[in-house]
Amino acid sequence: MFNCHVCGSQEAREEQTNEIFQIDDKPVLVEHIPTMVCIRCGEKTFSRETTEQVRLLLHGDTKPVRAISMEVFDFFRSSILGDTIRYA
């Protein structure tokens, strides 16, 4: 049975989600991963089997279906910049 490790709720719904994993400093996106989402707090939980399948997918011989370019934001850098502007 589902048991949320964050809030302890036992109610969840099944969803598919996209997750970014960091493989040797290279981000990769895995789409349509089945996950249980806690109804109370929204925490996503992957089953042991799903986690293992993702691991095999990323470290096996499977070729990516497509490549995308991503825009990257740095929260830390932007908050420092914000301080500089505020105190200038």
Q: Considering the complex, state which of residue 37 and residue 57 has its C-beta at the smaller distance from Zn ion.
A: 37
Residue 43 in contact with Zn ion, rule: CB under 5 A: yes
Task: Please identify which residue in 9, 35, 45, 53 interacts with Zn ion, judged by CB under 5 A.
Answer: 9
Q: How far apart are CA 73 and CA 58, in angstroms?
A: 24
Residues 54, 60, 58, 23, CA torsion sign: positive
Kindly report the number of other CB atoms within 10 A of residue 50's CB atom.
Answer: 14
Report in angstroms how near the CB of residue 44 gets to Zn ion at its nearest: 10
7 or 29: CB nearest Zn ion: 7
| 80 forms part of the interface with Zn ion (CB under 5 A) | no
| Identity of the amino acid at 18 | N
Beta strands in 8-87 (DSSP E): 12-23, 26-38, 44-45
Task: Answer yes or no whether residue 58 interacts with Zn ion by CB under 5 A.
Answer: no
Which stretches of the chain bind Zn ion, using CB under 5 A?
4, 6-7, 9, 38, 40-41, 43
